[in-house]
Amino acid sequence: MRAQMQAQREADRARKAYERATALAEKERKRLYVESRMAEVEAQNAALEEDVTRLEGILAATLEIDDYLDFEDLKEEPEIPVFQPGALAVEAPLPEAETVPPLSWSQKLVPGAKTKHEERVAAAARAWDDAKAEHAENEARRLEELAKAEAAHAATAARMSAEASERNSEIDTFRADFEAAKPDAMVEYFSLVLDASRYPEAFPRAHRLAYVPESKQLVVEYELPTLSVVPDVKTYRYVKARDAVDHSDRPLGQRRSLYAGAVAQIALRTLHELFEADRGNLIETIVFNGYVHTIAPATGQAVTPHLVSVRTSRDRFLELDLAGVEPLACLRGLNASVSANPAELAPVRPILEFNMVDRRFVEESDVLSTLDQRPNLMDLTPGEFESLITNLFERMGLDTRLTQASRDGGVDCVAWDPRPIFGGKVVIQAKRYKNTVGVSAVRDLFGTLQNEGASKGILITTSGFGKSSFEFADGKPIELLSGANLLYLLAEHADIEAKIEVPDDWVDPEVDAAATAEPAVPQPNPAPGTIAPETGTPVGSDAPEG
């Protein structure tokens, strides 16, 4: 009986110990579960902070990176595999000859033993000869297969080397075309520069580039991210009582501010990367147009509004200390057009429409120039050229009322834009030039604009402008249109497919050349249907006036 009671007490103690251990284990399990949920929330909050930090550091992230693209890095050395002959490299061992032991003294006494022994010796010799012959055949076959394998490997190596050499030769040609400022090579090089720029994964990577050789101007059409890249959650919080994760919304004003800052940083970052990659100073000015591709909430239709547009020269941009600027203020200092509310897709008008410089508009000529029936603007009489320009702007909605003879064979006229608020008096000047239009012509237009009390001035040329002209026009109600722009406008608004081919004996009007303090840069005659020569020599450069 006493033993039974003792056993029961031991059982009770064991059961209670198990219950305590189970309770402690459950408590520890719950504690660890709560810790794991809180760790998850901390990770989510850390990810939010990292996203915001990346948005705020878009510009800073590129300042320590050299964006120059070394052509030698584009080349490749062929990775020719090591020749591995395998079993073909191993000579099979020569089989051993059968050894027939000599007859013993007692074996020699056996009748016929000597004859049988001699037969065995002869058979062994024949077998040995056959084995050696077979081995020789096998070895010859092996050596033949080895030679074939070596030849195949050598042929593969030669082919790979030739292909690599051809690709490297193409890169050398690419380099030469780029250093000669040929438009296609310029566009390809700077596209590679932008492709190499690393942004957060959610950012789009689309961009288009065009190069205007007569103005040494690069035009960039760049897709911007939408507001969705800014986290709409400010912070996450674990609620233990409900075993749930709650979040607080990021204030809309903060999201808008972060987004506007990101848009401004992308614009400045792109300008920085392009100018830094241009060690040969082939670009004088860059036009950056940033747009978004999204769905308009009001209509549900796809839209592509531009949110920022800026044109700046190399000299002016490189004066900036990008590590210390406030991006939006910096863009405004560059006289950029910046959306008043990017988050609401409030659009801005691009400083220069990309299609107006897209080379596809100015290079569509027949293979044989004799088949190209488009009118050459340089062959028109002054009166015909004046009528053409007047007709163009009438088609674009302007009321051209007064036209006077220009002293330089071009067109000087005053027109009216009938639109309310945005309209008004417009002074238009068009110059048929072979050389880059000097900045003095832009100054003259600005003076005429002020004298006429006009709201806007437009200067069109069959050639191009240099950086001094763009710098002077910056921030003023002046629009400068090059030959490529003129061809585009004629095709788009007047249904006139024209071309610009400068005759060999063409001489720009001396009256204007004498008034231009900066030297004009001669431009070679373009190929039929083009306005920009691809001679490889950079053209279109303005020097500051004294």
Quick one: 367 exposed, middle or buried, by C-beta within 10 A (0-12, 13-18, 19+)? Answer: exposed
**Which DSSP symbol is given to 455?**
S
**Which DSSP symbol is given to 405?**
E
CA 189 vs CA 68, 74, 178: distances in Å: 10, 11, 7
**Confidence (pLDDT) at 401:** 61
**Confidence (pLDDT) at 35:** 84
Question: What does the domain layout of the chain look like in residue ranges?
Answer: 86-96+113-179, 183-356, 367-515
Strands 306-313, 337-338: pairing is: antiparallel
**Confidence (pLDDT) at 407:** 54
Per-residue pLDDT tens over the stretch 142-198: 899 999 999 999 999 999 999 999 999 999 999 999 999 999 999 999 999 999 999
Q: Is pLDDT at 247 greater than 60 in this prediction? A: yes
Q: Is pLDDT at 89 greater than 60 in this prediction? A: yes
Q: What is the per-residue burial (b if ≥16 Cβ within 10 Å, else e) of 10-34?
A: eeeeeeeeeeeeeeeeeeeeeeeee
**Confidence (pLDDT) at 119:** 81
- Contact of 75 with 102, CB cutoff 8 Å: no
The model carries a pTM of 0.72
Alpha-carbon distance of 162 to 154, in angstroms, equals 12
Per-residue pLDDT tens over the stretch 249-262: 999 999 999 999 99
In this structure, what are the phi and psi dihedrals at residue 282, rounded to the nearest 5 degrees? -80, -15
**Confidence (pLDDT) at 539:** 34
3-state class (DSSP) for residue 171 = helix
Question: Among 235-244, 282-291, 358-367, 424-433, which is the least confidently predicted range?
Answer: 358-367
Q: Find, among 246, 316, 314, the residue nearest to 284 by Cα.
A: 314
- Contact of 545 with 441, CB cutoff 8 Å: no
**Residues 6 or more apart from 10 whose CB is under 8 A from it?**
none
Q: Is pLDDT at 365 greater than 70 in this prediction? A: no
Q: Is pLDDT at 541 greater than 60 in this prediction? A: no
3-state class (DSSP) for residue 303 = strand
Q: What is the per-residue burial (b if ≥16 Cβ within 10 Å, else e) of 205-233?
A: eebebbbbbbbbbbbbbbbbbbbebbbee
**Confidence (pLDDT) at 544:** 34
**Confidence (pLDDT) at 515:** 42
* Winning range, highest mean pLDDT, from 63-67, 465-469, 470-474: 63-67
Give percent of the chain with pLDDT exceeding 70: 88
Question: Among 85-89, 139-143, 216-220, 398-402, which is the least confidently predicted range?
Answer: 398-402
Number of neighbours of residue 253 by Cβ within 10 angstroms: 9
**Confidence (pLDDT) at 499:** 85
Amino acid at 107: Q
Architecture of domain 367-515: 3-Layer(aba) Sandwich (3.40)
Read off the pLDDT of each residue in 382-387 and give the average, rounded to a whole number.
79
Residue 411 binned pLDDT confidence (cut-offs 50, 70, 90): low
**Confidence (pLDDT) at 104:** 82
Mean pLDDT for the chain?
A: 84
**Confidence (pLDDT) at 236:** 94
Alpha-carbon distance of 192 to 67, in angstroms, equals 10
Read off the pLDDT of each residue in 488-502 and give the average, rounded to a whole number.
85
Q: What is the 3-state secondary structure (H, E, C) of 325-349?
A: CCHHHHHHHCCCEECCCHHHCCCCC
- Contact of 463 with 435, CB cutoff 8 Å: yes
